[in-house]
Structure 1
Amino acid sequence: MPASSIRRHLQATSLLAVLAGYVVLLGVNRELSGRLRYDRHVAQAEAAREVLERLAPADVDTPAELQELLSELATPTWMVWLQPQRAKGPPLLLPVGPLFEDYSATHPLIAAAAKELLQSSRPHEFELAGRSYFTSAIPIRLAGQPYQLRFVQDFSLQHAQEQQLQLLLIAVAGMTALFTSALLRLVIHRGLMPLEVFSESLKGMTSTSLSTERLSLKGQPQELRPIGTAFNDLLDRLSEAWEHQRTFVNGVSHELRTPITLISGYSRRLLRHRDQLSTADQEQLQLVAEESDSMGRLVNDLLEIARDDAGRLQLECRQLDPYAVLSDLFSRLQASSNGRLRLLPAPVGYAEVSADPERLSQCLTNLVENASKYSPPASPIELCLSSDAEVVVLHVIDHGPGVPAEERQQIFERFRRGSTTGGVSGHGIGLAVVKTLMERMGGSVAVVDAPAGGADFQLRLPAVLTASSEPRPSRNESLRRWFSAG
């Protein structure tokens, strides 16, 4: 589920609240209009009854006189008539005159009103032929006779005006909602601006600035100050922990280099007199030499990480022949690879690169050691070079299980290992150092599937088209620097 946006959530919630307010307003306006019609109808009906009772003489005994009185009360939009309550009483009494000559008991409006009044005599609305009417009935007694005074009010014009007003209100509500949405966007943007300032401040923080950079609380809203204070306290603790870790790694790495160098040197010296040793002693000394070399590379990797974290990683980049670096690496590691290491021919017309030769050799050594551990013992490890006009790629190709696509980024992070490592021991540092050194030299590292199966680790550097006459250090110089102090 994608993460939600506070800005969008606030905009949507505020806009929905505004629209809900308009809906309530329209509903209240509609209800008030209906209630006003009801009250007006009731008041007009009561007034008509009072007038009729006041004007009708007590001894009236002819329907004609009552019809004359009804004619004075009725209009084309306010129809009034009398319905006798006794079955043997006079017939339905309707107003008389030119305006009402078409009205009779069978008139559609009178018949429809009579049908509605059978259900309820209270004021209520009904529709007839596309027009809107209010009808009601109240009891009245004239000349000793009980009647039901009935009313039908035509409010079609008023209803149409109310509908037009409703449509106008809806249109105004829509335009106001758009204006409110634009205004809310500006208001919310300004309200969330302190969070954006916090975010930009956090983006600029690195491991080297943990001890110096802090979030500024000056001018910040009251709600954000506790967050800023807590985060600054967290930065203080992280800075202290980071400094302790960096000091520990740097100190321990320096302290380990000397005994590891001595162990490696003495074991190699003893191996030069292997003729005087038994086969078991030779194997044990060879194992000590190999493990001390591996430990030396691990300590060197830790030192590189510590230097990079402290901002003291120094590179001596110069223009060099990348295939010469591969050849030198092949010569140095061939004896210890049990014949597995293979150097493929150089391509025609490849470009040179700008890099630190010792650090580039260190990256290649880490990749070769990694390939030898995670591929079958008898399978070859191939070194080759490819080049185009922009990029030179140094390849270390193995024939192991390869690296799953979803893990090809995480294996270059510190202390992270892939799922195909099996039970092979490792520290998760070598590839992280390769990535760090390549990035500091302006290049990158990647892993893809090898054409014949396995993994193809690639060191990519920008191509340099100009030639360089600077001599390349010898193998002995490389070895001395490898075990020299940081």
Structure 2
Amino acid sequence: MAVASIRRHLQATSLLAVLAGYVVLLLVNRQLSARLRQDRHDAQVRATTQLLQGLLPEEIDSTAELRRHLSDLASPSLLVWMIWLEPDRQGPGPAILPSGAAFRQFHSGHALLRAADAVVPADGMPREFRFDGRTYFTCSMPLRLAGKPYQLRFLQDFTLETEQERLISLLLVAVAGASALFTSALMRLVIHRGLLPLDAFSATLAGISALSLSTERLSLEGQPSELHPIAQAFNDLLDRLAEAWEHQRTFVNGVSHELRTPITLISGYSRRLLRRADQLDQQQQKQLELVASESESMGRLVNDLLEIARDDAGRLQLESQQLDPAVLLEELFVRLRPTSDGRLQLQPIPSGYPGVSADPERLSQCLTNLVENALKYSPASQPIELALSSDADQVVLHVRDHGAGVPAAERDKIFGRFVRGSGSADTSGHGIGLAVVKTLMERMGGSVRVGDAPGGGADFQLCLPAIPEPPVSSRPSLRRWLSPGLS
């Protein structure tokens, strides 16, 4: 499950917070508006009741007087009427409505009055209702005038206020939408600027390598206080890694140096004994050859470990110079051919190839490692081919075998340290030679890769940048004195 980025999470959270704030504002506005309407209605009811209760008996001695006073208390938005509760009458008595032309349309059976009668609660508390698209408040109160019991009724029109409230709500919704868009754009900028220190941390961490473990640290200067614990934790981790890396590097370097001398002595003495092995039987000679072969293998392993240790310590010395890659291939062919049982072949060198800049000793070491691997992992009946190809940008030195090849899934992994391919289980090896080749080629500005050889097998390729100069077209060649079958 993919996890959203911090930027998107903060932006979405801030946007939801803004929208939630406006939703709360809308709800509070509606509640306050409803409360204000009810308070206004209650105030109007109390004032009207007090005025009626303050009338003198002679001012309300007839229904006509009551209707006149009710018309004085009423207004276009407030209708006040009374119902006489006759003692001997079951149910409400006749309604006393205000007089005047403005209230002439109202009578006891009016639809609006019936709607108000239907919603008013038994306790007479104010109740809001809608009728014919308009909003009203209605309530009732007991009242005694001149010793007679009445029910005072109120019907107040709040349509204008509710329309204003609706317009305000629509305005708030529009403002909320605009604010959300503005907040989203602003928060995008603010969050981007706020997370710039994290980008700087990421860039610093990406630039830390094994060579800079002891020197590169995250700076706390000018950084937000929230990032200080993170930076300090990373710096502590880098300190521990640098210490562990230094211990490992010192161990490998020390062990490699200590092993070189005894391994060299073992190899030298075993070869000397082999030259004087006339008095030994065949089994003793084979055992002595095994000692010599294994000591040489151990010597190569120690040299490879030293190369890696020097590279890790930043002390790998390269002496790059301009050289002719074809001459290097031919010299390597002459040197390794006697130990390859005739399997090593040099393919024809094409004309018009450019030169390269490399350390000839290190480049020869890389080719030697590849040739020895090819001799080891391919069938003894199959040849090993050295070849050269080039284009305008690079020169490629090929070491091809005709064995099982390297599966596509393993072609990057086999160049790791102490990693061996799945087809090498039955062959002795340490898994360090290809890692040394990769390290040396990268330090010379080139690369190593493996592909499929024509006709089957593995094609290991050493790639070096071409030197922009006129291509080599003719030169002294070892092929003048090599037999045609060897090239």
Structure-2 residue corresponding to 1:156: 159
CA distance in 2, matches of 1:56, 1:89: 25
Change (3 A) 1:379 1:109: farther
* Segments of 4+ moved more than 6 angstroms: none
Matched, 1:288 2:291: yes
Shifted more, 245-254 versus 4-13: the winner is 4-13
The superposition leaves residues 28-72 of structure 1 with CA deviations (integer Å, 9 ceiling, x where unpaired) of 222212211121112212222222333374795754443333222
How far is the alpha carbon of 1:443 from its aligned partner? 1.0
The superposition leaves residues 384-434 of structure 1 with CA deviations (integer Å, 9 ceiling, x where unpaired) of 3332221222233443252343x4434333344455554655434222222
User: CA contact under 8 A between 2:354 and 2:471: conserved in structure 1?
Assistant: no
Q: What pairs up with 1:7-26 in 2 under 5 angstroms?
A: 7-26=7-26
CA distance in 1, matches of 2:327, 2:275: 29
3-state SS of the aligned residue for 1:368?
Answer: helix
User: CA contact under 8 A between 1:390 and 1:462: conserved in structure 2?
Assistant: yes
Structure-2 residue corresponding to 1:301: 304
Matched, 1:310 2:337: no
Structure-2 residue corresponding to 1:479: none
CA distance in 2, matches of 1:88, 1:247: 109
CA distance in 2, matches of 1:108, 1:260: 117
CA distance in 1, matches of 2:248, 2:395: 36
Length-normalised TM-score, structure 1: 0.82
Q: Which amino acid aligns with 2:142?
A: P
Change (3 A) 1:271 1:34: same
User: CA contact under 8 A between 2:84 and 2:150: conserved in structure 1?
Assistant: yes
Structure-2 residue corresponding to 1:131: 134
Shifted more, 457-466 versus 79-88: the winner is 79-88
Unaligned segments of structure 2, at least 5 residues: 479-487
Structure-2 residue corresponding to 1:477: none
3-state SS of the aligned residue for 1:290?
Answer: helix
CA distance in 2, matches of 1:3, 1:424: 45
Structure-1 residue corresponding to 2:483: none
CA distance in 2, matches of 1:225, 1:293: 53
The superposition leaves residues 73-95 of structure 1 with CA deviations (integer Å, 9 ceiling, x where unpaired) of 22232222334555465433333
Structure-1 residue corresponding to 2:481: none
Q: What pairs up with 1:350-389 in 2 under 5 angstroms?
A: 350-374=353-377, 381-389=384-392
Structure-2 residue corresponding to 1:81: 81
CA distance in 1, matches of 2:96, 2:151: 10
Q: What pairs up with 1:51-450 in 2 under 5 angstroms?
A: 51-55=51-55, 57=57, 60=60, 62-83=62-83, 86-87=89-90, 90-117=93-120, 121-181=124-184, 184-185=187-188, 188=191, 191-272=194-275, 277-337=280-340, 341-347=344-350, 349-374=352-377, 381-398=384-401, 399-400=403-404, 402-405=406-409, 407-418=410-421, 421-422=424-425, 424-450=427-453
Structure-1 residue corresponding to 2:29: 29
CA distance in 2, matches of 1:297, 1:270: 21
3-state SS of the aligned residue for 2:317?
Answer: coil
Change (3 A) 1:92 1:265: same
Change (3 A) 1:179 1:420: farther
3-state SS of the aligned residue for 1:442?
Answer: coil
CA distance in 2, matches of 1:38, 1:371: 97
The superposition leaves residues 346-374 of structure 1 with CA deviations (integer Å, 9 ceiling, x where unpaired) of 44543332222221222223233444555
Change (3 A) 1:334 1:273: farther
Length-normalised TM-score, structure 2: 0.81
- How many residues get paired? 473
CA distance in 1, matches of 2:139, 2:418: 88
CA distance in 1, matches of 2:263, 2:230: 48
3-state SS of the aligned residue for 2:95?
Answer: coil
User: CA contact under 8 A between 1:14 and 1:184: conserved in structure 2?
Assistant: yes
CA distance in 1, matches of 2:414, 2:58: 110
Change (3 A) 1:376 1:63: farther
How far is the alpha carbon of 1:144 from its aligned partner? 4.7
CA distance in 1, matches of 2:83, 2:428: 107
CA distance in 2, matches of 1:183, 1:364: 59
Identity %: 65
User: CA contact under 8 A between 1:320 and 1:468: conserved in structure 2?
Assistant: no
User: CA contact under 8 A between 1:81 and 1:150: conserved in structure 2?
Assistant: yes
Change (3 A) 1:206 1:58: same
User: CA contact under 8 A between 1:56 and 1:66: conserved in structure 2?
Assistant: no
3-state SS of the aligned residue for 1:55?
Answer: coil
3-state SS of the aligned residue for 1:299?
Answer: helix
Change (3 A) 1:301 1:63: same
CA distance in 2, matches of 1:455, 1:136: 98
User: CA contact under 8 A between 1:56 and 1:142: conserved in structure 2?
Assistant: no
Q: Which amino acid aligns with 2:112?
A: L
User: CA contact under 8 A between 1:368 and 1:381: conserved in structure 2?
Assistant: yes
Change (3 A) 1:285 1:169: same
Structure-1 residue corresponding to 2:484: none
CA distance in 2, matches of 1:50, 1:390: 104
User: CA contact under 8 A between 1:58 and 1:142: conserved in structure 2?
Assistant: no
CA distance in 2, matches of 1:119, 1:394: 104
Q: Which amino acid aligns with 2:353?
A: Y
User: CA contact under 8 A between 1:63 and 1:90: conserved in structure 2?
Assistant: no
